[in-house]
């Protein structure tokens, strides 16, 4: 095959650099370095006005699809702080660690598995080895130490007395809340297998190599669901959830060619997993995990039953037997998904003033749904524009903007991905109509004001 042909069949990452995304995010108030006026705080980020709307949309779309549209999944909001016993039982105290190596020369610290996988190559070039074939420091080619295990959990203490019993952890995944509450929720809801418990919330990991903006951070948000099934049906449900979750990303507009499903090799599996498939996205730096869908077997319930001394089994009415359910777990990142939507939506096209930057968000993902733009700041016009704004705010997130030329205002909305602009002009006072301008095609249609709400509902509501 010629290289030209090969090019056609190869998926291409979004045509944007991370520098461009980072700068747009700060300039327009999506997300920026936390504690910046104090020099920034290690790999933590604050979400501004547009970022919070974006995150809220991602959360709501996940919740709607995984919980509200189904009759076999219920919700939970468990505490973030947990006692040591939970994480001893779950295996995190012993196993949740990364192999670290230090450079003996420049003292930089690396994750050995990431060195092996070539994850530092974008920044430091191809993985370097010495004459003996051992990996050397990507930064200075110095010799590396033997790997050491470094636990990723944030440890803290509760109460005033510091002893063994006061040790607590910030949760490293939301999942454990679902396992330790399994029996309480099953009894309260009288659910039969299969059924799931879902949760969205913050998790914390002391990542050694955070990076790529909010892709890997120490404080992040997860959306996880533990789907409890009868043993023996687990392979079927695993396949089912991989497909469901893949379709969710497609439904909300990610470019199909930039998505793939990658089953984990045996050596890569987490300590609790029988099989895991990742939904991966082709980021500007290469393929990366967007979500993992794991078959956690009965590992967690068995462990918690053993360590807590409580019966966490399920009574199967059909067979009259007590069983420990298997668990299929789709585990997504809300913050990582928001970043992916941003990257995938980014587009630039030439226009008469230079370049039009457009975030081509799916309408349900877009932080602002409608912008109201009066053509002038004069009285009768802005009165009408404010009336419309007030009415539409009951339905969607709205921005009202009356400053600068209309062309610039359209560009400002394009750059944050607003699907529709409503322009109020002098004729509106005569014909009682406004113009709806669509972001992607820039097509404009005149709509009678009494029909505006329905016209926007038809365009914006997602079914």
State which residue, 14 or 175, has the beta carbon closest to ligand GAP. Answer: 175
Q: How many residues bind ligand GAP (CB under 6 A)?
A: 19
| Interface map 211-230 toward ligand GAP (x if CB under 6 A) | -----xx--x-x-x------
Ranges assigned E (strand) in 230-369: 259-263, 275-283, 286-297, 314-316, 321-323, 326-333, 346-351, 354-359
| Interface map 168-187 toward ligand GAP (x if CB under 6 A) | -----x-x------------
Between the alpha carbon of residue 55 and those of residues 16, 46, 172, 321, 390, the distances in Å are: 21, 12, 20, 43, 24
State which residue, 61 or 144, has the beta carbon closest to ligand GAP. Answer: 61
Neighbours of 412 (CB within 10 A): 19
Closest CA to 420 of 353, 368, 361, 370: 370
Closest CB 217 distance from ligand GAP, rounded Å: 5
What is the sign of the dihedral through the CA atoms of 212, 214, 219 and 224? negative
Distance CA 172, CA 151 (A): 11
State which residue, 167 or 208, has the beta carbon closest to ligand GAP. Answer: 208
Segment near ligand GAP (CB under 6 A); pick from 11-19, 23-31, 330-338, 444-452: 330-338
Residues in the chain: 463
Closest CB 460 distance from ligand GAP, rounded Å: 27
Find the binding residues for ligand GAP in span 126-145 (CB under 6 A).
none
Tokens representing residue 306 in the block: 């053993």
Closest CB 219 distance from ligand GAP, rounded Å: 8
Does the footprint of ligand GAP cover residue 114 (CB under 6 A)? no
State which residue, 57 or 217, has the beta carbon closest to ligand GAP. Answer: 217
Closest CB 291 distance from ligand GAP, rounded Å: 5
Determine which residue in the list 186, 335, 364, 399 makes contact with ligand GAP, applying CB under 6 A: 335
Determine which residue in the list 25, 89, 331, 421 makes contact with ligand GAP, applying CB under 6 A: 331
Does the footprint of ligand GAP cover residue 92 (CB under 6 A)? no
Does the footprint of ligand GAP cover residue 196 (CB under 6 A)? no
The sheet with strand 398-400 has its strands ordered as 398-400, 370-374, 420-424, 433-438, 444-448
- Angle made by CA atoms 440, 444, 445, in degrees to the nearest 5: 130
Determine which residue in the list 196, 325, 330, 333 makes contact with ligand GAP, applying CB under 6 A: 333
The HSE-up count of residue 136 (CA atoms within 13 Å, CB side) is 14
Angle at which helices 334-345 and 49-63 cross, to 10°: 110
State which residue, 217 or 399, has the beta carbon closest to ligand GAP. Answer: 217
Q: For residue 353, say if its preceding peptide bond is cis, omega within 30 degrees of 0.
A: no
3-state secondary structure of 91: coil
Find the binding residues for ligand GAP in span 264-303 (CB under 6 A).
289-292
Tokens representing residue 282 in the block: 């082709």
Segment near ligand GAP (CB under 6 A); pick from 178-186, 244-252, 326-334, 348-356: 326-334
Judge contact between 152 and 96, C-beta under 8 A. Answer: yes
State which residue, 185 or 455, has the beta carbon closest to ligand GAP. Answer: 185
Does the footprint of ligand GAP cover residue 205 (CB under 6 A)? yes
Which residues contact ligand GAP by CB under 6 A? 173, 175, 205, 207, 216-217, 220, 222, 224, 289-292, 329, 331-333, 335-336
């Amino acid at each position: 095959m010629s290289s030209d042909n090969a090019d056609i069949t190869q998926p291409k990452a979004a045509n944007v650099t991370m520098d461009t995304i980072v700068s747009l995010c700060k300039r327009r108030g999506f997300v920026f370095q936390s504690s910046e006026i104090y020099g920034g705080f290690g790999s933590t980020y604050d979400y501004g006005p547009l970022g919070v709307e974006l995150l809220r949309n991602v959360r709501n779309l996940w919740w709607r699809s995984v919980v509200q549209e189904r009759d076999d999944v219920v919700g939970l909001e468990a505490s973030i702080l947990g006692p040591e016993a939970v994480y001893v039982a779950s295996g995190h105290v012993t196993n949740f660690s990364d192999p670290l190596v230090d450079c003996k020369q420049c003292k930089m610290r690396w994750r050995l598995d990431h060195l092996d996988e070539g994850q530092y190559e974008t920044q430091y070039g191809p993985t370097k080895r010495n004459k003996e074939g051992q990996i050397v420091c990507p930064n200075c080619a110095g010799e590396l130490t033997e790997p050491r295990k470094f636990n990723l959990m944030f440890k803290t203490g509760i109460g005033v007395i510091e002893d063994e019993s006061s040790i607590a952890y910030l949760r490293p995944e939301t999942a454990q809340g679902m396992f330790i509450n399994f029996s309480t929720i099953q009894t309260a809801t009288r659910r039969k297998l299969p059924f799931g418990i879902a949760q969205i919330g913050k998790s914390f990991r002391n990542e050694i190599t955070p990076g790529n903006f909010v892709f890997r951070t120490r404080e992040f948000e997860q959306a996880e669901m533990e789907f409890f099934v009868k043993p023996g049906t687990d392979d079927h449900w695993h396949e089912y959830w991989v497909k469901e979750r893949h379709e969710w990303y497609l439904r909300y507009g990610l470019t199909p060619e930039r998505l793939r499903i990658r089953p984990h090799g045996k050596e890569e599996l987490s300590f609790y997993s029988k099989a895991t498939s990742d939904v991966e996205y082709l980021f500007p730096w290469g393929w990366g995990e967007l979500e993992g869908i794991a078959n956690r077997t009965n590992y967690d319930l068995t462990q918690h039953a053993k360590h807590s001394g409580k019966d966490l089994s399920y009574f199967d009415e059909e067979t009259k037997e007590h069983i420990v359910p298997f668990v299929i777990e789709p585990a997504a990142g809300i913050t990582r998904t928001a970043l992916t939507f941003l990257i995938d939506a980014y587009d630039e096209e030439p226009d008469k003033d230079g370049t039009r930057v457009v975030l081509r968000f799916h309408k349900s993902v877009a932080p602002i749904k409608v912008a109201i733009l009066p053509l002038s700041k004069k009285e009768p016009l802005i009165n009408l524009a404010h009336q419309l704004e007030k009415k539409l705010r009951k339905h969607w997130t709205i921005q009202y903007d009356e400053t600068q030329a209309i062309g610039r205002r359209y560009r400002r909305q394009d750059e944050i991905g607003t699907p529709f602009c409503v322009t109020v002009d002098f004729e509106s006072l005569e014909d009682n109509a406004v113009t709806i301008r669509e972001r992607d095609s820039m097509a404009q249609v005149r709509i009678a004001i009494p029909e505006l709400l329905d016209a926007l509902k038809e365009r914006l509501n997602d079914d």
